[in-house]
Structure 1
Amino acid sequence: MSDTLRTMRLALHPIGLRDRHALLRHWTGPLVRRHLFDGASISPVQVTEIIETSERDFATEGYGLWALRPLPRGWRAAEPRPGAPLIGVAGLRGHEGPFDRGVDVEILYSLEPDRWGQGLAAEASRAVLDYAFGVVGLRRVTAEIDPASAVSAEVAASLGMRPWRSGADGPDGAAYYAADRSGWLGSRRGIDAVP
């Protein structure tokens, strides 16, 4: 089993220390930070901790975070060209669920602002959900959607994720979406993933 994923336009590799500087640059960008870290600044130490947590999660849970790099048109290799820039991150992480006792698995992603509006978030997220349900065998994956990010709600809906749990939203006004394994595998939504 390989933790490397590929779509028609992207190569997804588990993040590692080799990505530290690129991740710091990406996650400290003001537009990315606003949606992913609620505007809070992230330090090099925190980036290293996120990488270490992802590596541990891959080893123990079978999932983590992937660095997104573009595959040039017509490129047949699973690897991007050497020196291809990191254009974002997509992946899964465990977190305390707002409604259940215990841990949920949440999908998250971030993209460089110059890549917004190209369908890459949905493409990467489909590959991650295919992996979550088809390889890891997760039962459910959730998404916490920032109320200021209507685009994230559209991405979740395009993935077949549905509002999860009626009632009060999270403490910060977040909406919660979810996809389940049986619905995902039955829908054949993973059309972007390639062998």
Structure 2
Amino acid sequence: MTETLQTGRLALHPIGMTDHHALLTHWTGPVVRRHLFDGASISPVQVTEIIETSERDFATEGYGLWALRPLRRGLGPAEPRPGAPLIGVAGLRGHEGPFDRGVDVEILYSLEPDRWGQGLAAEASRAVLDYAFGVVGLRRVTAEIDPDSAVSAEVAASLGMRPWRGGPDGPDGASYYAADRSGWLGSRRGIDAVP
């Protein structure tokens, strides 16, 4: 099983320690931090822990976090541009679900603010969901949507995710969306993901 993914515009590679500096820079940006970490500051040690958790999850669960980089287009196969900057992260993580007594798998993403509004979050998330359902065989993937993030709700809806368990249920008023394997595979939404 390969964990490297490609879309029409993006190369997705599992995050690793070589991404540490780029991830720290990305995740400590005030706008990204506000949406991904509820405004909390993240330390280099925490970035190391996130990378280690993702590497462990890929080894044991088959999923984790991917670094997003733009593809270089040329006469040959598309590939990441040499030295291409990290423009975001997308992936899956297990977490204690608010409704079930087990662990849910949650999709998450972050993009550099100058990349917003280009459809890249949905493009990367489609690749991740296609991998989750088609390769790993997950039954359901959830998304926690902050109450002040209408754009994230639009991204979830564009992916075919639907409100799950009705209304805001999180401690901070978050809403939950979900996609299930049978609905995803039946919709053929993941066609732009190339494992």
* TM-score of the two chains, using structure 2 as the length reference: 0.97
- Per the alignment, in what secondary structure is the counterpart of residue 167 of structure 1? strand
Q: Deviation digits for residues 87-143 of structure 1, max 9, x if unmatched?
A: 000000000001111100000000000000000000000000000000000000000
Q: What residue is the counterpart of 1:61 in the other structure?
A: 61
Aligned twin of 1:2 = 2
Task: Describe the shift of the 1:33–1:51 C-alpha distance in structure 2 as closer, same or farther (beyond 3 A).
Answer: same
Deviation at 1:151, TM superposition (A): 0.2
Give the CA deviation at 1:10: 0.2
Structure 2: how far apart are the matches of 1:103 and 1:35? 22
> 75-84 vs 117-126, which deviates more?
75-84
Aligned-residue offset at 1:176 = 0.1
- Quick one: distance in 1 between partners of 2:186 and 2:129? 13
Q: How many angstroms does 1:73 deviate by?
A: 3.8
Runs of 4+ in 1 over 6 A off after TM superposition: none
- The 1:44/1:174 distance shift into structure 2, 3 A limit, reads same
**Post-superposition shift, 1:166?**
1.9
The DSSP-based 3-state class of the residue aligned with 1:74 is coil
**Equivalent residue runs for 1:116-195 within 5 Å:** 116-166=116-166, 168-194=168-194
| Partner-residue secondary structure (3-state), 2:72 | coil
Counterparts of 1:190 and 1:52, CA distance in 2:
28
Q: CA deviation at 1:84?
A: 0.3
Tell me, in whole angstroms, the C-alpha distance in 1 between the residues paired with 2:110 and 2:122: 11
* Secondary structure, aligned partner of 2:165: coil
Give the Å deviation of 1:169.
1.5
Percentage of matched positions with identical amino acids:
91
- CA shift at 1:78, angstroms? 5.2
Q: How far apart are residue 191 of structure 1 and its match?
A: 2.4
Distance apart, 1:74 and its partner CA? 4.2
Query: Structure 1: how far apart are the matches of 2:78 and 2:138?
Result: 25
Give 1:24 shift. Answer: 0.1
Other-structure match for 2:96: 96
> Taking structure 1 as the reference length, what is the TM-score of the superposition?
0.97
RMSD between superposed Cα atoms in Å = 1.2
The total of aligned residue pairs comes to: 195
Q: Which has the higher strand share?
A: 2
User: In the aligned structure 2, how far is the partner of 1:173 from the partner of 1:76?
Assistant: 48
Return 5+ residue gaps in structure 2 as ranges: none
SS in 2 for 1:89: strand
